[in-house]
Structure 1
């Protein structure tokens, strides 16, 4: 059976779709599964067990200049690659116009069908074209975790029961920072929305507490503003805090996998930490952990925890959560 997964972006959403693919593999061991994704996230998807072929696109860039010659040329090349193989099932796990376009552009095998969400779920984006393009629209509970939403769509589309245990299937080869003589805790302080950030002085407070417990602090960054914040935090925490170099997603997953744990805001890197089953505390300024947090049906509780506070959790609350999940 040949299956195409359409989940284009963003980083957290891509990670949240990985368990659905692992369910598919368990239910259909003979399945050949391809995945369409934005080029920036392709290195991570290639590390997901069971992905046969990663088909890259650059929809975000193309939309900025849809009529440019380079855009038309790249779209034709993408369409040619996408249609090189027919699929028995095309699964639109995104629920947006852009994913509906990709699903519609794909080629079906004889008797093949396109599946998509029939409804919006609470707190998530949804656009009607995904339902119009689908041969079968699958209704899922309105209050669904992002991971569970994709799992339920795939199970309903292909007619199998959800496994009781959830797996992400994300492979990593731990690469320790040579500057770290101590076990490292990564601080994922960057996020796409400023209102999800945790105050810098709170990070410094937590970092000093962790250094006092014998840890070092690793500070990844994905933008110039995040790099500057990482450097300011490292200077304030002291010599056991290190700013990581800019890494692609594959190398970043390897660096995270070598850490003793992760503390992070609601962001893609935090969701990678969840997928790698690291001790992890996820910080929420809004009561939305039920939708994107580490407490996912099928995952045994204990090593990962979310902390919510308004306007934000205190350093003491995050520290207590860390002590609850840390193996030390």
Structure 2
């Protein structure tokens, strides 16, 4: 069986699709998959053994200048890539109008979420086979349920398996010193943990004998990382910018990760790296990190989760975003110690 999978973005959403693909691969060992994904995330499908071809999409870029996209031949090349074969099944795992539109460009039977299940119900009109999936559950479970229904195997009851362990096994190296990675970067201002709290966490980690490593993806995140590093350049180091594969290799060297609700936190979970993930403006129930040794800390604040990109709280608060006042560094470090102790018992 050769299928086409359409799941274009975002980083966390693409990673959330891997367990469903692994379920399918386990039940159908001859399964081969081509994957349409945003060009920024094109590395991720290559990590899974069922994926034969990655077809990068650039919808975000193409929509900014449709005329240039058409005249340059980029759209024609993309369509030709999609139409090289007749697929046994085309699965739109995104449920959006843009992903449904992309699925229409390929040849094969299109399947996806029903009107009541898709994030954008109109997308369901583009599918020849529609499946109802309960929306009020974690995204990983929704996708596992969808794949099982589309491909006709029993819904697994096992814990999610991202299917990328074999790919990354050669990159697990012996560490010279205990290492902790802070995932401080995120696009929403409301999800950014206060800088002063990162400074305190770094001090606690160093006191406990850890080397602290900090990635960054843009100038703003680099500025934050450099401020944190300035407190102790001997024990705090920046992770150079690189590919997602490079970042995955870095995460594999960590004993533990502390991060905000960001795509790299989901990558850590997929790799099985122990992690504490912080949730203020968002909730972990639907899109939280999922995997072995993953701890989600949801703040207990009156307006959390607000699901707003900007914090709008106007009351008195010692930090901003205000909801993180309920997730102080000392409390988080206690959770780190508890997690590490539980792993030693195992």
Assess same fold via TM > 0.5.
yes
Counterpart for residue 288 of structure 1: 283
Is the Cα contact below 8 Å between 1:263 and 1:282 reproduced in 2?
Answer: yes
Where does residue 157 of structure 1 map in the other structure?
A: 150
The SS at the match of 2:237 is: strand
- Is residue 264 from structure 1 mapped to residue 254 from structure 2 by the alignment? no
- Residue 117 of structure 1 corresponds to which residue in structure 2? 113
SS in 2 for 1:5: strand
1:4-153 to 2 correspondence within 5 Å? 4-69=4-69, 73-108=73-108, 113-119=109-115, 126-153=119-146
Separation in structure 2 between the aligned mates of residue 85 and residue 11 of structure 1, nearest angstrom: 27
Q: Secondary structure at the match of 2:231?
A: helix
Cα distance in 2 for partners of 1:227, 1:176 equals: 26
Matches of 2:182 and 2:173, distance apart in 1: 15
Distance 1:223 1:291 in 2: 27
Structure-2 residue corresponding to 1:213: 208
Of 146, 163, 178 in structure 2, the residue corresponding to residue 169 of structure 1 is: 163
- Residues 206 and 315 of structure 1 are in contact (CA less than 8 Å); yes or no, is this contact kept in structure 2? yes
Aligned mates of 2:253, 2:115 — CA distance in 1: 39
Residues 253 and 184 (structure 1 numbering): CA distance in 2 closer, same or farther, change over 3 Å?
same
Runs of 4+ in 1 over 6 A off after TM superposition: none
How high is the TM-score relative to the length of structure 2? Answer: 0.86
**TM value normalised by structure 1:** 0.90
Match of 2:332 among 305, 311, 318: 318
RMSD: 1.9
Counterpart CA distance in 2 for 1:43 and 1:289 is: 25
**Gap change, CA 1:119 and 1:187, over 3 Å in 2:** farther
Judged with a 3 Å threshold, the aligned counterparts in structure 2 of structure 1 residues 257 and 67 are, in CA distance, closer, same or farther, namely same
Q: Distance in 2 between matches of 1:119 and 1:290?
A: 23
Q: CA deviation at 1:194?
A: 0.9
Distance 2:262 2:116 in 1: 21
Distance 2:54 2:71 in 1: 20
Deviations 1:95-128 (CA, angstroms, capped at 9, x unpaired)? 11110011111111xxxx211111566xxx8223
Q: Deviations over 1:180-201 (max 9, x none)?
A: 8422111100111111111111
Q: Secondary structure at the match of 2:73?
A: helix
Residue pair 2:115, 2:122 contacting (<8 A) in 1 also: no
Specify the alignment match of 1:186 in structure 2.
181
Which runs of 5 or more structure 2 residues have no equivalent in the other structure? 302-322
Q: Deviations over 1:187-223 (max 9, x none)?
A: 1001111111111111111111111111111100111
1:232 matched to 2:227? The reply is yes
- Separation (CA, whole Å) in 2 of partners of 1:324 and 1:293: 20
Is contact 1:62-1:71 (8 Å) kept? no
Query: What residue ranges of structure 1 are gaps of 5+ in the alignment?
Result: none
Question: C-alpha displacement at 1:135, in angstroms?
Answer: 0.7
Q: Secondary structure at the match of 1:182?
A: coil
Partners of 1:119 and 1:97 in 2: how far apart?
Answer: 12
Residue 142 of structure 1: how far off its partner (Å): 2.2
1:28 deviation in Å?
1.1
Going from structure 1 to structure 2, the CA distance change for 1:40 and 1:114 (only over 3 Å counts) comes to: same
Q: State yes or no: 1:308 paired with 2:298.
A: yes
Distance 2:237 2:138 in 1: 34
**2:12–2:262 Cα contact (<8 Å) kept:** yes
Counterpart contact for 1:185–1:262, Cα < 8 Å: yes
Residue equivalent to 1:195: 190
Aligned to 1:275, what secondary structure does the other structure show?
A: helix
Contact 2:69–2:75 at 8 Å: present in 1 too? no
Deviation at 1:167, TM superposition (A): 0.4
